[in-house]
Amino acid sequence: MKKYFVFLFLCILFLCGCKNKTVMIAFNSNGGSYIMPEIIESGKSIEITSPTKEGFNFDGWYYDDALTIPYNNETFKRNTTLYAKWTPKTYTIAFDYDIEPIEAEFLSEINLPTPTKEGFVFDGWYTSPYLDKPFTAQYMPLGGAYLYPKWTPKTFQVKFYHFGGLLDIQTINYNERITPPIVPSREGYIFTGWDHDLETIKSDAIISAMYIPKVFIVDFETNGGTSIDSIAVTYGESVSMPAPPQKPLKVFDGWYLDADFKELYQNTQVTNNITLYAKWKDAFTYVLKYDDTYEIYKYNGSDEIIEIPSEFQSKKVTSIGENAFINSTNLKKVIINNNIKTINSYAFYDCINLEEVYIGDNVIQIEEGALSSCSKLKKLTIPFVGKSKDATDSESHFAFIFGKKEFYNAYNVILPLNDPLCRSYFLPNTLEEVTITSGKKIKDYSFYNCKSIKKVILPDSIDTIESFAFYKCSGLEEIKFPKDLEVIEEYSFYDCINIKNIEINNNLKEIKSYAFKGCISLKNVYINKESKLNLLGEGVFLGCISLEEIFLPNSIEILPNNLFAYCSNLKNVNLPLGIKEISKYCFYNCISLRFFISSPLIEKLDDYSFGNCINLDCVYISISLMYLGENVFDGCMRLEAIHYEGTIDDWENITKESNQFLEDVNIIDSFLLK
């Protein structure tokens, strides 16, 4: 049919050409829609309909099949064939996934991406969301495409174990919930679950059953000892034992599974609730003595505080043996009852944590070194000082009971005694307080050089503190004088540089020479005016540079030599009315003394009695004065006048030694000394 129309067209063209010259324009659409040839008059142009072609855009007509010479509406003068040029359209392939779309020309080669998804295997692209039409094209299709990925879940192997044994093996899809096997029970344990999340699986897995052991309660019956809280113990374990209980004067002897102490607990594994029973034995080992009393031979306990038993098996305990408490490192306080008569050597040796010891009044003998190496001892109460009430020489010294052996944290106490057997003892630096409970005297040199002691408590029965008793006790801060104290002898508190206050009772009669010399911290001395004190020795307060005020009783008549010499802070001296004599150097170098008012009965101011009192500016002297010693006011640079109760004639009649310093001092007479 097509050939017929072409033939007809050519015949028409031929007939027309016979009349006028015509040309034929033919069209090659290169696969596009068909365009009918046209016959036109030579030298004319034509309007040509554009062809169409699926997947392409028409890009014009060309004179040559190589499409190099474009047709631009020129006129035709001869027969011509025009060729259509095509450009492929660009289409898009989009994905139902988080992937960038692909844009490409129609029929161009395409490379589809291969996506990944955790737990799945990619199984190709599909053109339907129902994943029933696979996309297989290798070139860009007409109109592009919208593709859906297909996924196949991965499978994993899951193994279940129970206490090391395999229970089950399952094949599970990715993210699929696991159905675990039934777990067998196990004695002493409670199943608590699996050690893996069962809701989803994302890899091969080994899943183990988890258990917790059952917990049992262990109670402790201490049978009179310190209580111990119950503890929880897991099945199959032994009891982690608490510290042993404590019971006064007893030694812990183990835990038993029965109240009759027949079955000892020996780290047995716990499989149910149990009670453990404490067994005890006596902390002391005793030895029966010849007098039918007991001696403590050995202490085996671990108490911190003990009171020595007074009886054992209905017989008295009367002594503590040598080394009986050696190395009892828990011991902090010991109370020794009144039945004990003797404490033997090194009884408490190396009790390094012992802080306080009380020894009863009935003890008659404490042997040398009984408290040796008690390096933390702070407080000690004893009935006497030294070995016994009748001890002499080095055995009467306080440090005798600490012995000659040097030990940690101790200092050497050098003795002044001519004792060939002992020149020194050792005392712990920690010992601060000593209480004496009985006796009449504190003997010569009793606490000589005991520098650590801060406080001494004496019984009211003490009537005499003998010479050098507390000599150079440089740490001593406090001492309360007994009510019955009558005499404080020479040098008894010499150089006790930390004593601050002294209060003398009414029964004290004598304070002998240099008793408080060098007590540089002594600030206040109070002696009741009703006191029986009638004798102050020479230099009793010599060099007490902190002394500010002193009250003297009416019973004192003479202030002896050097009594207050070099008391540089002494500001006020309340002289009793009965004072008759102020002896040599009595107030020498008392540079803070501002005034002096003599008593109405004063008869004698001896040599240099107020020498070098550089701030003394007010002096009032009674008419009773009969003797003025040499240079009484020597160096009293501020003294300009002396107020004298009598007349100038009376003043002239006083017996005077050389007093050149008075030449520039006015004598003001006729005042009334009240």
pLDDT in tens, 69-95: 999 888 888 999 999 999 998 999 999
Q: Are 568 and 460 within one domain?
A: yes
CATH of the domain at 191: 2.60.40.4270
- Kindly state the percentage of the chain with pLDDT values over 90: 52
Instruction: Evaluate whether 405 touches 446 at the Cβ level (below 8 Å).
Output: no
Question: What is the SS3 string spanning 296-328?
Answer: EEEECCCCCEEECCCEECCEEEEEECCCCCCCC
Binned at pLDDT 50, 70 and 90, residue 670 comes out as low
Binned at pLDDT 50, 70 and 90, residue 454 comes out as very high
Token digits of residue 275: 């009670």
DSSP per residue, 193-232: EESS-SS---S-EEEEEEEEE-EEEEEEE-TTS-----EE
Binned at pLDDT 50, 70 and 90, residue 20 comes out as low
Q: Are 422 and 454 within one domain?
A: no
Q: Is residue 391 part of a domain?
A: yes
Residue 4 has pLDDT above 50, yes or no: no
Q: Are 460 and 506 within one domain?
A: yes
Instruction: Evaluate whether 444 touches 464 at the Cβ level (below 8 Å).
Output: no
Q: Cα dist. 370→16, 324, 360 in Å?
A: 161, 10, 15
CA 220 – CA 279 distance, rounded (Å): 11
Q: Are 200 and 251 within one domain?
A: no
- Give the closest residue to 388 by CA, choosing from 421, 362, 349: 362
CA 133 – CA 110 distance, rounded (Å): 18
Residue holding tokens 């009171």?
Answer: 307
Per-residue pLDDT tens over the stretch 241-266: 888 888 888 888 889 989 999 989 88
- Kindly state the percentage of the chain with pLDDT values over 70: 95
Q: Is residue 277 part of a domain?
A: yes
Q: Is the CA virtual torsion 336, 342, 345, 347 positive or negative?
A: negative
Q: Is residue 268 part of a domain?
A: yes
pLDDT of 171 reads 87
Which of 574, 602, 620 finishes a domain?
574
Work out the number of other CB atoms within 10 angstroms of the CB of residue 84: 24
Q: Is residue 661 part of a domain?
A: yes
Q: Are 84 and 172 within one domain?
A: no
pLDDT of 446 reads 94
Q: Are 563 and 636 within one domain?
A: no
256-267 CB burial, b ≥16 within 10 A, e <16: bbeeebeeebee
Which amino acid is residue 46, in one-letter code? Answer: I
Q: Is residue 436 part of a domain?
A: no
Token digits of residue 349: 């040796």
CA 604 – CA 610 distance, rounded (Å): 12
pLDDT of 498 reads 95
Q: pTM value?
A: 0.65
Per-residue pLDDT tens over the stretch 166-180: 888 888 888 888 888
pLDDT of 449 reads 94
CA 591 – CA 558 distance, rounded (Å): 22
- Give the closest residue to 263 by CA, choosing from 254, 250, 272: 254
Which amino acid is residue 4, in one-letter code? Answer: Y
pLDDT of 672 reads 55
Instruction: Evaluate whether 122 touches 34 at the Cβ level (below 8 Å).
Output: no
Q: Is residue 589 part of a domain?
A: no
pLDDT of 419 reads 65
Q: Is residue 582 part of a domain?
A: no
Residue holding tokens 């696979």?
Answer: 134
Rounded mean pLDDT of the chain? 89
Per-residue pLDDT tens over the stretch 293-345: 999 999 998 889 999 999 999 999 999 999 999 999 999 999 998 899 999 99
pLDDT of 185 reads 78
pLDDT of 140 reads 87
Q: Are 563 and 456 within one domain?
A: yes
Binned at pLDDT 50, 70 and 90, residue 481 comes out as confident
Q: Are 106 and 18 within one domain?
A: no
Which of 68, 88, 108 finishes a domain?
88
Per-residue pLDDT tens over the stretch 527-581: 777 788 889 999 999 999 999 988 888 888 999 999 999 999 998 887 888 899 9
Which of 136, 153, 170 finishes a domain?
153
Q: Are 182 and 114 within one domain?
A: no
Per-residue pLDDT tens over the stretch 115-167: 988 888 988 899 899 988 999 888 889 888 898 999 898 888 888 888 778 88
Q: Are 205 and 231 within one domain?
A: no
287 versus 239: which is more confidently predicted? Answer: 287
End-to-end Cα separation, the chain, in angstroms:
174
Q: Is residue 413 part of a domain?
A: yes
Per-residue pLDDT tens over the stretch 27-51: 999 988 898 998 988 888 888 888 9
CATH of the domain at 567: 3.80.10.10
Token digits of residue 44: 């004319």
Binned at pLDDT 50, 70 and 90, residue 420 comes out as low
Q: How many domains does the chain have?
A: 7
Torsion of CA 529, 533, 536, 542, to 10 degrees: -50
pLDDT of 8 reads 46
Q: Are 492 and 559 within one domain?
A: yes
CA angle 241, 243, 248 (to 5 degrees): 135
- Give the closest residue to 356 by CA, choosing from 428, 262, 253: 428
Mention every residue, 6+ apart, whose C-beta is less than 8 A from residue 333: 304, 305, 306, 354, 355, 356, 357, 358
Q: Are 100 and 80 within one domain?
A: no
Q: Which domain holds residue 17?
A: 2-88
